C-alpha cells in the first residue's frame, strides 16, 4: 500500500520503518523537507537527528505534507498534537478527502512545563477536531496510548495488552485493525471503543501515562483491560 | 478501627459492608439521616433503597457528616463528586484535621447528559481541591478507577490488575495501602503514582472507563499496567 506518514519524530520514524519492513511504499510528510533533512542535533531523548536516521532508510521518501498526502492511499498522523491541524492544512483538503487516517496524535501542551497538560479534552478531543475539520477524511484514532516501540512491536510486552480504536467509519476501522494485526497485535487485544467522540477517553489516558512514566521510570508499559469472570 | 464512610450510594454501601466484615466500626455519613433512611425508591441501577439496605446491616451506624467525621479515626470519601466539597464542609474542618482520607470520589458531571464529563480536570483535580481546602487532612485518592464490587473484592478478576494511589503524605499512603491489602489487593498491584497532583491522571481515567462500560456492556473490568521485558 502507498502510505503517507505525517511527522518526522520518533513516532513517525518508528511507524515508517515498520511499514517499510512490511513492504509498503512510504512517504513521510513534513513542513519543510530541506530543513527536516538538514537537522543535525540529537533530539531531546538523545536520538540521532532526522537526516541521520533517514540516511539509513533511503527507501523511505520525504516530501512536503501536500505531496505526501497526494501520494498516500492511507495516511498516518504522527505529528505532535500542536502541529496536527497546521500540518493537515498544508496537506490540503482535496489530498485528504475519502482517505483513511490512522491518527496517533495526542493534544499534549508542553508550554506550561512538565508533565504536559492537554490543550483540548473532556468535552472535545483532537481526533474530533480533525474529523470535524475534514469531514471527508475517515479518522481512526489508535496507538496513541503507548510508546512508539510498543506500537509496532506489541510482543515487547510478554502478556496480552490493549490497543484502543475510535472512529466513525466501520470500514476505516477494519482497515486500521488489519494494519494493527500486521504489526503483531492480536485481534482480541484491539478494543473498538466507539465513534470518534470516544477519542476523548483515549486521549485522556495521557495524563496518567506521563505520570506512570515518571513513577515507573520506564516508558515501556501499556494498559490492559482485564474483565471479571462471568457470574 | 473507627471508620467514617461519607456517602450512602453503592460505593459507600459496598465499602461499609466490607469494612464491617473486616471487624471495623463503621459510621456512614450523610447530609440528612432521616431522609436517607426513609428513601424507598430503588436507585437508577435497580438496587434497593438505602433504608432497606441499612436494615440488613444494623451494626453500621448512620449519622450526619459532622458526627460521622468526629467518630472516624479514618475517613472514606465515597460521595458523588459534585457532593464532595459540600459534604466536607458539613463534616467540619476540625473533625477532619490530622486524619487520613481515602478519597474514592470522581468529578463526574452528569448534568450535560451521558456519558458524563468531568467538572474539573487536566490542570486540577477533585483530589487536589479537597487537599487544598483541608490542608490538615491527609488525602489519598485511590480505588476511584473501578466498579465498587471490584474495589473490595479484587479477585473477581482472575488475573492481576492495578489500583492507583495519589497523595502527598507517605504515612497516609501506607495506611491506605494496608487497608487495600486487607481488601485482598496484592502489594505488587498497588501503584503509588505520586503526589496528589497525580490524581489528575487517575481521575481522567473515568472518561475511558465510562466509554468502555458502554462498548464492553459490562462494568466488571479494570485497568492493568503491564510492563515490557527488561532489555
Give the Cα separation of A9 and A202 in Å (integer).
21
Binning pLDDT at 50, 70 and 90, where does residue B14 land? very high
CA dihedral (B118, B124, B128, B134) positive or negative: negative
Q: Give tens-digit pLDDT for A145-202.
A: 999 999 999 999 999 999 999 999 999 999 999 999 999 999 999 999 999 999 999 9
Of A117, A220, A227, the CB nearest to B228: A220
pLDDT at B24: 98
- What is the number of other CB atoms lying within 10 angstroms of the CB of residue B196? 23
Integer angstrom CA distances of residue B87 from A111, B35, B121: 36, 15, 20
Binning pLDDT at 50, 70 and 90, where does residue A46 land? confident
Whether the pLDDT of residue B45 is over 80: the answer is no
pLDDT at B41: 81
Tell me the nearest-neighbour CA distance from A16 into chain B, angstroms: 22
pLDDT at B122: 97
pLDDT at A186: 98
CB–CB contacts below 8 A, A to B: 135
- What is the number of other CB atoms lying within 10 angstroms of the CB of residue A151? 25
Binning pLDDT at 50, 70 and 90, where does residue B43 land? confident
Binning pLDDT at 50, 70 and 90, where does residue B47 land? confident
Residues of chain B positioned with their CB less than 8 A from the CB of A220:
227-228
Report, as an integer, the average pLDDT of A132-154: 98
Query: To which H or E segment does residue A139 belong?
Result: strand A138-142
Residues near B58 by Cβ (< 8 Å), separated by ≥ 6? none
A54 close to B (CB below 8 A): no
* Total-model pTM: 0.96
Residues of chain B positioned with their CB less than 8 A from the CB of A216:
191, 225, 227
pLDDT at A198: 98
Tell me the nearest-neighbour CA distance from B230 into chain A, angstroms: 9
3-state SS assignment for residue A186: coil
Give the Cα separation of A68 and B94 in Å (integer).
64
Q: Terminus-to-terminus CA distance in chain A, angstroms?
A: 45
Binning pLDDT at 50, 70 and 90, where does residue B127 land? very high
Whether the pLDDT of residue A44 is over 80: the answer is no
Residue pair A65/A94 in contact by the 8 Å Cβ criterion: no
pLDDT at B88: 98
Report, as an integer, the average pLDDT of B107-116: 94
Residue pair B74/B83 in contact by the 8 Å Cβ criterion: no
Integer angstrom CA distances of residue A73 from A22, A31, A68, B31: 16, 20, 10, 60
Phi, psi torsion values for A37, nearest 5 degrees: -75, -25
Residue pair A137/A36 in contact by the 8 Å Cβ criterion: no
Report, as an integer, the average pLDDT of B54-83: 97
Residues of chain B positioned with their CB less than 8 A from the CB of A223:
223-226
**What residues of chain A, 148 to 207, have a C-beta less than 8 Å from chain B?**
150, 156-161, 164, 191-194, 198, 200-202, 204-205, 207
Binning pLDDT at 50, 70 and 90, where does residue B229 land? confident
Q: Give tens-digit pLDDT for B182-222.
A: 999 999 999 999 999 999 999 999 999 999 999 999 999 99
What grid cell was written down for A229? 469472570
CA dihedral (A208, A212, A214, A220) positive or negative: negative
pLDDT at A189: 98
Give the Cα separation of B2 and A149 in Å (integer).
49
Concatenated DSSP letters of chain B: -EEEEE--SHHHHHHHHHHHHTT-EEEEEES-HHHHHH--S--TTSPPPHHHHHHT-TTSEEEEHHHHHHH-SEEEE-S-HHHHHHHHHHH-HHHHTT-EEEE----EE-TT-SSPEESS-SS--HHHHHHHH-TTSEEEEESTTS-HHHHH-GGGSSS---EEEEES-HHHHHHHHHHHHHTT--GGGEEEEESGGGHHHHHTTHHHHHHHHHHHT-S-EEEEEEEPPP-
Tell me the nearest-neighbour CA distance from A29 into chain B, angstroms: 30
Tell me the nearest-neighbour CA distance from A218 into chain B, angstroms: 8
Decide the pairing of beta strands A163-167 and A74-77: unpaired
What grid cell was written down for B218? 459490562
Of A159, A192, A228, the CB nearest to B215: A192
Please judge whether B224 and A228 are an interchain contact, meaning their C-beta atoms are less than 8 angstroms apart: no
pLDDT at B42: 82
Residues near A206 by Cβ (< 8 Å), separated by ≥ 6? A106, A108, A116, A118, A144, A145
Which one, of B92, B98, B104, lies nearest residue B5 by Cα?
B104
Local structure of residue A185 (DSSP, 8 states): -
pLDDT at A20: 98
Give the Cα separation of A221 and A204 in Å (integer).
17
Q: Give tens-digit pLDDT for B140-160.
A: 999 999 999 999 999 999 999
Amino acid at each position: 500500500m502507498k502510505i503517507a506518514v505525517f511527522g518526522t519524530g520518533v513516532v513517525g520514524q518508528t511507524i515508517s520503518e515498520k511499514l517499510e519492513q512490511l513492504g509498503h511504499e512510504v512517504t513521510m510528510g513534513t513542513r519543510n523537507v530541506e530543513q527536516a533533512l538538514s537537522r543535525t542535533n540529537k533530539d531531546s531523548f538523545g536520538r540521532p537527528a532526522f537526516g541521520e536516521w533517514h540516511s539509513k532508510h533511503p527507501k523511505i521518501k520525504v516530501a512536503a505534507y501536500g505531496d505526501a498526502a497526494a501520494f498516500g492511499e492511507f495516511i498516518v498522523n504522527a505529528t505532535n498534537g500542536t502541529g496536527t491541524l497546521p500540518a493537515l492544512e498544508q496537506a490540503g483538503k482535496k489530498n485528504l478527502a475519502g482517505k483513511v487516517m490512522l491518527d496517533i496524535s495526542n493534544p499534549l501542551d508542553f508550554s506550561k512545563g512538565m508533565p504536559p497538560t492537554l490543550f483540548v479534552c473532556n468535552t472535545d478531543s483532537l481526533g474530533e477536531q480533525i474529523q470535524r475539520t475534514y469531514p471527508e477524511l475517515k479518522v481512526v484514532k489508535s496507538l496513541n496510548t503507548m510508546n512508539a516501540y510498543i506500537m509496532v512491536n506489541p510482543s515487547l510486552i510478554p502478556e496480552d495488552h490493549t490497543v484502543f480504536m475510535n472512529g466513525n467509519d466501520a470500514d476505516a476501522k477494519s482497515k486500521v485493525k488489519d494494519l494493527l494485526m500486521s504489526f503483531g497485535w492480536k485481534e482480541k487485544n484491539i478494543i473498538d471503543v466507539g465513534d470518534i467522540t470516544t477519542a476523548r477517553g483515549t486521549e485522556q489516558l495521557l495524563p496518567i501515562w506521563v505520570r506512570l512514566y515518571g513513577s515507573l521510570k520506564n516508558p515501556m508499559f501499556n494498559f490492559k483491560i482485564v474483565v471479571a469472570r462471568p457470574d
